[in-house]
Structure 1
Amino acid sequence: MLKNKFLILFVIFCSVCSNSYSQKTIQNIDARTNLSLNGEWNYILDPYKMGYLDYRQEPFDKSLTGKGGFYDNLNSPKKNEKVEYDFSHEPTLSVPGDWNSQYERLLFYEGTLWYKRDFNVSLNNNNRYFIHFGAVNYESHIYLNGKKIGSHKGGFTPFQFEVSGKLIEGNNFLVVMVDNSRKRDEIPTVNTDWWNYGGITREVNLIETPKSFINDYKVQLAKNDSKKVEGYVQLDGGNLSQSITLEIPELKIKKVYNSDKNGLVKFNIPVNDITFWSPNNPKLYQVKISTPNDEVLDKIGFRTIQTKGKDILLNGKSVFLKGISIHDENPLIQGRLRSEADMRMVLTWTKELGCNYVRLAHYTHNETMLRLADEMGLMVWAEVPVYWTISWSNKETYKNAENQLEVGIERDKNRASVIIWSVGNETPVKEPRNIFMSNLVDKVRSLDNTRLVGAALEVERDGYTVTVEDQLGDKLDLASFNEYGGWYWGNSKDLANYSFDIKFNKPVIISEFGAGALAGFHADDETIWSEEYQELVYINQLKMLEKIDGLRGMTPWILVDFKSPRRQNPVYQNFWNRKGLISNNGVKKKAFFVLKEYYKTK
């Protein structure tokens, strides 16, 4: 009997662990039938994890009964029943949204917090159902009607769990435990220069699909071939051998295929008279994929991106990447970007600056941001949070990084705006790191050979010479690196004396440069934190960078001031990184107009 109990425990444990990285996410969830679970969720602050661990620090959900945690959602106890929580009498948090920016008492909170939401559903037994999360930071455990449906790690990537057969007709409740504690072996690791916003930061939806449905697809131009659309459609479900129709009406394309026994169709279609997507003409085509039981609509642009020597070619023509770096943060109301309006505001600022390109740092941004970039004509550098010093030799850390990279590529592979997949930022050169990062580059190329691969490389300085020879650059398409002349090293008035020794015959992208300034603080151009100091850094940086052979773009750091616990000066920072060209109340600093004028000449 005891042996059987241990066997049951083992099975429970394994079934939970297997969900740490969830099944392949459904492509284009906004095109599906879905019930939004956004809105007000009750929450319980739980710094001791009382709702998850017993007094022996063992998880309740791995016990024989699985009972005892906050996920039971007991709210009408019997008079002789002791219950030490009650969601129904707790305050609420808005979802999507981080918890740090919604209540002052949660501003610096890092730890465990429980969410609960009631919802009503009318079930169709002929269909399947999935709970889909746009992002939850960082580790989450999800329970439906008191039963665990899965767990996930990673604060910026989407995930889902199938709940077919687990929903009940009428009233249901969803409980999510979220823990944003920073840990050395995670991605990102303990040390970052942005706010660790905890919570359900992006949309939550209940997705309804047919029994067999279109789970994934890719429709893009072939590598370096502007006259061929290729890709695939992948079905999920029981009946996988079906007819699949692909239509792009404006290109007079309508093709019917039969999927193989695994539900897969690959296609290769010649095209003529196609209008290519570009910043000057962000053309998107209506694409329809259908089966006898399912249909998905998307808007997709077609373009080629490649390098030739020290040049970058968009649709075969040389392009200079006039960019800026962006965090997933709204400075005006503080916290993560919550809505399309928030994101459109930020991208409109980039267009006003004269940008044709943005670096979405330092993690996977909201899918809506990428779709807006498609629409507004902004090329994108997309990144994963392999940032600074990672546990390079830890196999699970690498697995986590690779998973986040793969999920981001899966989600955004149909976005014409994405021209660069970045595998990391400012990672210190040493052998374990070189292996870790090289493997990530190989993974990108195995998943997508139609885009460029980059990273913010390390540089070395000797006197007035800046050398770029990070061996990871051998595997990349770009000589891309950060440098902070005039701020972290050197004097802004000495920048004219610096030269760059770049060991790669590749296009040069300056992925970061900049200086901090408090908007409205004016002084002479030698006074740190003044707008005038930041302005002079930009003026002299641009003159210095213009001398680089093969300079093909830049993303200065950063568009807007953003929150960071590392930035504590009570007069000039007050937990804000002030390198933004726009302040946290929307005021454009003097350096904004310097960069804007420069981009007019490119």
Structure 2
Amino acid sequence: MTNPNPMKMLLLALVLSVAGICTGSSAHAQTSLIQNAPGHRVLSLNGSWNYIIDPYENGFYDYRREAFDKSASGKGGYYDNQKPSNAQETELIEYDFDHSPALQIPGDWNSQDPKLLYYEGTVWFKKSFTLVPKAGKRYFLYFGAINYESHIYLNGKKLGMHKGGFTPIQYDITSQLSATGDNFVVVKADNTRHAEEVPTINTDWWNYGGITRDVFVAETPETFIVDFKVQLAKNDPTKLMGYVQLDGAGKASQTVTLNIAEAGIKQTLKTDADGHAAFSLPAKKLKLWSPLSPKLYAVSFSNGTETVQDRIGFRTIQTQGQDILLNGKSIFMRGISIHDENPLIPGRARSEGDLRMLLTWAKELGCNYVRLAHYPHNETMLKLADEMGLLVWAEVPVYWTIAWQNPATYQNAEIQLSDLISMGKNRASVVVWSVGNETPLSDPRLKFMTSLVKKARALDDTRLIAAALELHRTPDFVIHVDDQLGEFLDLTSFNEYVGWYWGGSPSEISKYKFDIKYNKPVVISEFGGDALAGYHGTAETRWSEEYQESLYVNQIKLLSTIQGLRGMTPWILADFRATRRQHPVYQNGFNRKGLISSTGVKKKAFYVLQEYYRQQAAKYDTGK
């Protein structure tokens, strides 16, 4: 046997760390994400969690900066949730979760505690819960998202570490639940920014910290349906393809029944030695999903011990020359960009109500399409888009200046992309996987980005792959779109800010023209300008609603000169918090490019875009 290569071992350790797997003896690997995890029987852990602010990380390291959870005993950290062992309380314990303040989970810490508004660092969270494990059942602790690096402990034992602020985290906790039913979970959440992470140090949105999405424990049989995919074959509305995957000791040679009763589809499948069963079936009776007719079918898988259900729509999406074809018909994608933030709180969206409000605003604007920027959004958002008839651009936070040559950074990005695709692969609304936004040109960047494109296509060849490309201007007022990454993508998408960051006032926008290299559909991923709601002036008065209104009027005229224009997602639906935006009068910590203010007021530009979308809707019919 040859000796292991030290560099390869180091790289493997880095990859495992990024993947959310701790290499310490007390940790367990994160198991494959359960498809439609909320659809199982769950015990919600949402609600009040005690928290401790820990900027020096006293609860994680001793005074020699050695991690307690890597010591011989594994004891000493806040995750032990210690209490005095005698009535006299003579022991020195310098923390107490039960007497610490509480935050509501899901929810970021910035918007719930004024002293944490700008805080970046470690906060510990603790939740006690009662769950008596049943024989023949398995239990999975599931977090929708924790920003950014999280260390998770159950009953004082480490489950693992995860990096990535917007993708789910899940651990099998069956063997670690207390037989008495008394349990507690402790989370170390750290939103500190680092140059080698994804996203990197420099972003243009608020770095909300904490446990920002739902937390629950899912109960399953010992052998259960962990994953499935049910979608139309690539560009073929007559064929239904997919798979089902079992997990557990009895996963081999099991019978699984796929049932779509309304469509008259029922098929018995047999799993292989790995618990996997693929299928390909006729789909002639399926009514196709579209924004005008967002038809969803009740789809179930049964294996004798459980039945897993989902609501799934079926459609095809492809490009042909400069057209985007939904179900074989040309469409114009009338869109808007959205952050995962409720501007009225303000803070991370915390509930289905928050998410439904954002998408309802988009529908009122006349949208059939939303860009969920600049990171994976809540799984509930994708399900609501299915239900409400909105096409979705879903994105990973490969944003601006990533550490292109760091192998661990790439693995981090690829894992976040894989988790995003796993979460959204059964959602008819998702038609675009985006691998990044405004990434500066270089050979390492091109290698990094094209590797992500290949990964996305390998995981899902039924959707379009895109990114917000780089562009450059020349003194003759030409905007050149020739980013080499565009060769590998299905759409030509780019952000341009004529009339705001460059190009003078809105009246000067007409001077510009486009030189686009690629004969592909053009979908403008961003344009816009700031306006403080209620501030009025002339069309030349920056920050006024009239300036933003004029910018939209002239941008629409400019963009309409693009022959292959097939959609847009202006920046952005609603004002959102952004630390970079520091003008004390007009911004005050908010990016004001929203068409809706931070108090829910529609600005004048809202109605300009609404009218343009009304005209486009009259030209295209996505329902036939």
Report what 1:533 is aligned to.
Answer: 547
Q: Kindly provide the amino acid, as one letter, of the partner of residue 210 in structure 2.
A: G
Q: Does 1:36 align with 2:44?
A: yes
Q: Does 1:486 align with 2:499?
A: yes
Q: Kindly provide the amino acid, as one letter, of the partner of residue 49 in structure 1.
A: E
Give the conservation status (yes or no) of the 8 Å contact 2:263–2:286: yes
Cα distance in structure 2, aligned partners of 1:14 and 1:521: 52
Q: Does 1:115 align with 2:132?
A: no
TM-superposed CA distance for 1:257, in Å, is 1.3
TM-superposed CA distance for 1:20, in Å, is 9.6
CA offsets 1:535-565 (integer angstroms, 9 cap, x no match): 0000000000000010000000000000000
**Which stretch of the first structure deviates more once superposed, 370-379 or 166-175?**
166-175
TM-superposed CA distance for 1:494, in Å, is 1.2
Q: Kindly provide the amino acid, as one letter, of the partner of residue 153 in structure 1.
A: K
Report what 2:3 is aligned to.
Answer: none
1:202-213 to 2 correspondences below 5 Å: 202-213=213-224
Report what 1:246 is aligned to.
Answer: 258
Q: Paired residues, what number?
A: 592
Give the conservation status (yes or no) of the 8 Å contact 2:148–2:189: yes
Give the conservation status (yes or no) of the 8 Å contact 2:302–2:308: yes
Aligned match for 2:566, one of 547, 552, 567: 552
CA offsets 1:407-434 (integer angstroms, 9 cap, x no match): 0101110000000000000000111100
Report what 2:7 is aligned to.
Answer: none
**Which stretch of the first structure deviates more once superposed, 575-584 or 267-276?**
267-276
Give the conservation status (yes or no) of the 8 Å contact 1:218–1:232: yes
Q: Does 1:197 align with 2:211?
A: no
TM-superposed CA distance for 1:80, in Å, is 3.2
TM-superposed CA distance for 1:22, in Å, is 2.8
Aligned match for 2:478, one of 465, 472, 480: 465
Aligned match for 2:154, one of 110, 133, 144: 144
Q: Does 1:350 align with 2:362?
A: yes
Aligned match for 1:281, one of 273, 293, 301: 293
Report what 2:557 is aligned to.
Answer: 543
Cα distance in structure 2, aligned partners of 1:235 and 1:265: 9
Report what 2:198 is aligned to.
Answer: 187
CA gap of 1:390–1:29, structure 2 versus 1, over 3 A, is same
CA offsets 1:329-367 (integer angstroms, 9 cap, x no match): 001111100000111011000000000000000000000
Note the aligned Cα RMSD (angstroms): 1.4
Cα distance in structure 2, aligned partners of 1:198 and 1:517: 28
Report what 2:136 is aligned to.
Answer: 126
Cα distance in structure 2, aligned partners of 1:446 and 1:163: 31
Give the conservation status (yes or no) of the 8 Å contact 1:21–1:153: no
CA gap of 1:461–1:446, structure 2 versus 1, over 3 A, is same
TM-superposed CA distance for 1:141, in Å, is 0.5
Report what 2:173 is aligned to.
Answer: 163
TM-superposed CA distance for 1:30, in Å, is 1.6
Q: Does 1:474 align with 2:487?
A: yes
**Which stretch of the first structure deviates more once superposed, 543-552 or 74-83?**
74-83
Cα distance in structure 2, aligned partners of 1:160 and 1:52: 21
TM-superposed CA distance for 1:151, in Å, is 1.1
Cα distance in structure 2, aligned partners of 1:27 and 1:84: 41
SS of aligned partner of 2:189 = strand
CA gap of 1:158–1:297, structure 2 versus 1, over 3 A, is same
Report what 1:402 is aligned to.
Answer: 414
Q: Kindly provide the amino acid, as one letter, of the partner of residue 473 in structure 1.
A: G
SS of aligned partner of 1:601 = helix
Runs of 4+ in 1 over 3 A off after TM superposition: 12-21, 77-80
**Which stretch of the first structure deviates more once superposed, 188-197 or 165-174?**
165-174
Cα distance in structure 1, aligned partners of 2:285 and 2:221: 36
TM-superposed CA distance for 1:273, in Å, is 2.8
Q: Does 1:381 align with 2:393?
A: yes
TM-superposed CA distance for 1:18, in Å, is 10
Give the conservation status (yes or no) of the 8 Å contact 1:21–1:152: no
Aligned match for 1:72, one of 59, 68, 80: 80
TM-superposed CA distance for 1:76, in Å, is 2.5
Aligned match for 1:229, one of 231, 240, 252: 240
TM-superposed CA distance for 1:15, in Å, is 3.4
**Which stretch of the first structure deviates more once superposed, 20-29 or 383-392?**
20-29
Residue segments in structure 1 that go unaligned for 5+ positions in a row: 1-9
SS of aligned partner of 2:419 = helix
Report what 1:422 is aligned to.
Answer: 434
Q: Kindly provide the amino acid, as one letter, of the partner of residue 232 in structure 1.
A: Y
Cα distance in structure 1, aligned partners of 2:597 and 2:378: 22
Give the conservation status (yes or no) of the 8 Å contact 2:239–2:282: yes
Cα distance in structure 1, aligned partners of 2:276 and 2:222: 16
Cα distance in structure 2, aligned partners of 1:56 and 1:20: 26
CA offsets 1:253-275 (integer angstroms, 9 cap, x no match): 11111111110100000121321
CA gap of 1:18–1:581, structure 2 versus 1, over 3 A, is farther
Give the conservation status (yes or no) of the 8 Å contact 1:507–1:551: yes
| TM-score for both structures, normalised by structure 1 | 0.97
TM-superposed CA distance for 1:319, in Å, is 0.2
Cα distance in structure 2, aligned partners of 1:17 and 1:558: 46
Aligned match for 2:342, one of 318, 330, 334: 330
Q: Kindly provide the amino acid, as one letter, of the partner of residue 275 in structure 1.
A: K
Report what 2:326 is aligned to.
Answer: 314
Give the conservation status (yes or no) of the 8 Å contact 1:426–1:458: yes
CA offsets 1:14-39 (integer angstroms, 9 cap, x no match): 63399798332000012101100110
SS of aligned partner of 1:398 = helix
Cα distance in structure 2, aligned partners of 1:316 and 1:305: 8
Report what 1:90 is aligned to.
Answer: 100
Cα distance in structure 1, aligned partners of 2:80 and 2:25: 20
Q: Does 1:506 align with 2:520?
A: yes
Cα distance in structure 2, aligned partners of 1:205 and 1:369: 18
SS of aligned partner of 2:356 = helix
Cα distance in structure 2, aligned partners of 1:224 and 1:88: 56
CA gap of 1:73–1:32, structure 2 versus 1, over 3 A, is same
Give the conservation status (yes or no) of the 8 Å contact 1:45–1:113: yes
Report what 1:23 is aligned to.
Answer: 31
Aligned match for 2:532, one of 497, 518, 532: 518
SS of aligned partner of 2:241 = strand
Cα distance in structure 1, aligned partners of 2:22 and 2:525: 42
Report what 1:445 is aligned to.
Answer: 457
Aligned match for 1:586, one of 588, 600, 607: 600
1:54-69 to 2 correspondences below 5 Å: 54-69=62-77
Cα distance in structure 2, aligned partners of 1:17 and 1:424: 36
Give the conservation status (yes or no) of the 8 Å contact 1:21–1:403: no
Q: Kindly provide the amino acid, as one letter, of the partner of residue 339 in structure 2.
A: H
Cα distance in structure 1, aligned partners of 2:140 and 2:551: 51
Report what 1:3 is aligned to.
Answer: none
Q: Kindly provide the amino acid, as one letter, of the partner of residue 51 in structure 1.
A: G
TM-superposed CA distance for 1:496, in Å, is 1.2
Cα distance in structure 2, aligned partners of 1:89 and 1:273: 60
Residue segments in structure 2 that go unaligned for 5+ positions in a row: 1-12, 617-624
Q: Does 1:45 align with 2:53?
A: yes
CA gap of 1:406–1:19, structure 2 versus 1, over 3 A, is farther
| TM-score for both structures, normalised by structure 2 | 0.94
Give the conservation status (yes or no) of the 8 Å contact 2:84–2:91: no
SS of aligned partner of 1:194 = coil
Give the conservation status (yes or no) of the 8 Å contact 1:515–1:579: yes
